[in-house]
Amino acid sequence: MKRKGFVHIVEIILIVIVVFTFLYQFASLKTKPQEWDKIKASLLVGDIINSLRILNTNWFNEEEVRARCDAVFPKTMVYGLSLYGIVKPKINILCYGEKCNDVANALESFTINNVTISFTIHTVDSLSELFSLYYDVAIIARDVLPDSFYNEENKYALKQFLTNDKGIIEMVNLVSDDLTDSKKKDIQNGIFSLEKTTSNGNSIVFKKNISVKTKDDFLLINYLYHTPIFHDDFNDKNKWTTSAGWQGNDKFELEPGFLGTSLYLNSTCEGERYIYTPAFNEFENMTLVLFFNFTPNSRFDVMFKGVNDFYVVSVDQWGIVKLYYLSNGHLNIIKKGDYGSIFPYEWHKLVIDSGNGKLEVFIDSKPALFAEGVWIGKRSLALEACGNGVNIDNLRVYFNEDYVFENSLAGQGVRSSEKRNIILEERGGGAAAMVINDNAVGGKGRAIWLSPTIAKGESGKAIIRFAVITAAGYYYDVIGSDVEEVESARLHALKSIDMFQPFIVELKSGYTYAG
């Protein structure tokens, strides 16, 4: 009996050890959060995103965001941060076709509100390689589309690409068969919203009006008129050269600036003593924006240079703004404005808006001069300064609503079945030159058609850049994360150096768990 009792005691001890080991193993696993855990996570995410805002976190800087989040998030939680309403800072592109070099030449990096937008483009040899989900945008850049574009395998890959919220650009001449054949219409009309029409041969203008922005097309219009045709942050002097009359004691140097380095300029403003840019000679019906900083008793001139003449907008420290015409040494003042004194050693914003025979000047958003009957024609840019000199930074040239493209559609008759999708069209409602369907497949993805005949010169390159940033989508995962049982918090943010750019910041987080 004693021996039997001893056996029972041993069995009980073994059972206790087994149960304890079993429970310990399961207790060591990360478990799915219960309701209270979700509430705590929600409160934590809200506190963290507001703390990041108070710390003036640069939402576009992954390293900075990650370092600050890692410092406060528990190890049992994962997180991600996304921005909505902005241009992706890094856009990866695949391109197919003989005109991919034209696309690559257009994709020069630029900045929007001090955020650099850069492009990486790779060419592929076949359509079967084009729709990789590792890329943001797929581009077909050819004279015409191959028949293989319409086969079932390619159509499936294209739709899958767009369903994953990617973008595709056709930069091709569409023939009648592309728009009338029932099999081909399934793509051209069903995805790109294109249909056949008749060209009227008129000049090509923007269909979208910057002053009439709806909720649906606010972002598209905002970026259309703020994708630079020409730009210079003055990190170097490579885009500018000195005039024939430039002298050795004239100043053309880089100095600390508004956002980085700036251009310091000073001469006597007598004779041909200015700098000009050979890189851009298309200023007509456009908007120029730059930042300037006077030293005392100074003035500077923005010059629109022809072959032997200039239109000049002159601004001095006392706020006197003049528009004059200069030809063969003869100066004719067209209009004079009095803005009021401009404080030296402070940065100010100058806007010159030229179009449809009118020219307006704004300083720090305040009107400084308005003139009518000023048809300056297509010109290059030049700058001069005198007195004690001026610093210039962040120069931009944008399209405005008056810009006109020459018609080179050669009778090509393409239009959109959805009027809101038309970006460029012939005057009088003729054929389109650019169409964007921003809800291509099931409300996702962006399908863009761009006539290759429009993509010429610096203005054409800007249209290609705008097409690519739009196709990529106006959102960016700064830190991507697959989070289950997500809790999230959002806040509204704003950038406004170059343009009014409201956007949304979303921080997402959840627990890691086994099960």
Q: Report pLDDT digits (tens) over 38-57.
A: 777 788 899 999 999 999 99
Phi-psi category of residue 445: left, alpha or beta, with phi > 0 → left and psi -120 to 50 → alpha? left
Please, what's the b/e burial string for 176-193 (b: 16 or more CB within 10 A of its CB; e: otherwise)?
Answer: eebbeeeebbebbbbbbb
Residue range 441-454: mean pLDDT, rounded: 92
CATH topology of domain 90-225+404-473: Rossmann fold (3.40.50)
Task: Quickly list DSSP for 192-261.
Answer: T-EEE-------EEESS-TTS--TTTHHHHHHHTTS-SEEE--SSSTT-EE-TT--TTSEEEEEE-SSSE
Residue 471 has pLDDT above 90, yes or no: yes
**At the fourth CATH level, which superfamily is domain 231-399?**
Exo-inulinase; domain 1 (2.60.120.560)
Residue 16 has pLDDT above 50, yes or no: no
Residue 12 has pLDDT above 90, yes or no: no
Q: What letter represents residue 412's amino acid?
A: Q
Tally of CB atoms within 10 A around 222: 18
CA 155 to chain centre: 29
Task: Quickly list DSSP for 13-44.
Answer: HHHHHHHHHHHHHHHTSPPPP-HHHHHHHHHH
- What are the helix and strand counts (H, E) for the chain? 9, 31
Alpha-carbon torsion (24, 28, 34, 36), positive or negative: positive
Q: Report the pLDDT value the prediction gives residue 31, as an integer from 0 to 100.
A: 47
C-beta of residue 386 within 8 angstroms of C-beta of residue 295? no
Q: Report the pLDDT value the prediction gives residue 327, as an integer from 0 to 100.
A: 87
Q: Report the pLDDT value the prediction gives residue 133, as an integer from 0 to 100.
A: 95
Which of 232, 231, 355, 350 has the alpha carbon at shortest distance from 286?
355
Q: Report the pLDDT value the prediction gives residue 215, as an integer from 0 to 100.
A: 67
For the chain, the domains span 31-86+479-511, 90-225+404-473, 231-399
Helix pair 62-70, 35-54: axis angle to 10 deg: 130
Q: Report the pLDDT value the prediction gives residue 23, as an integer from 0 to 100.
A: 41
Tens of pLDDT, residues 192-239: 999 999 888 888 999 877 666 666 788 999 999 999 999 999 999 999
Q: Report the pLDDT value the prediction gives residue 24, as an integer from 0 to 100.
A: 47
Residue 131 has pLDDT above 50, yes or no: yes
Residue range 157-162: mean pLDDT, rounded: 96
Q: For the whole model, what pTM was predicted? A: 0.89
Distance CA 453, CA 389 (A): 43
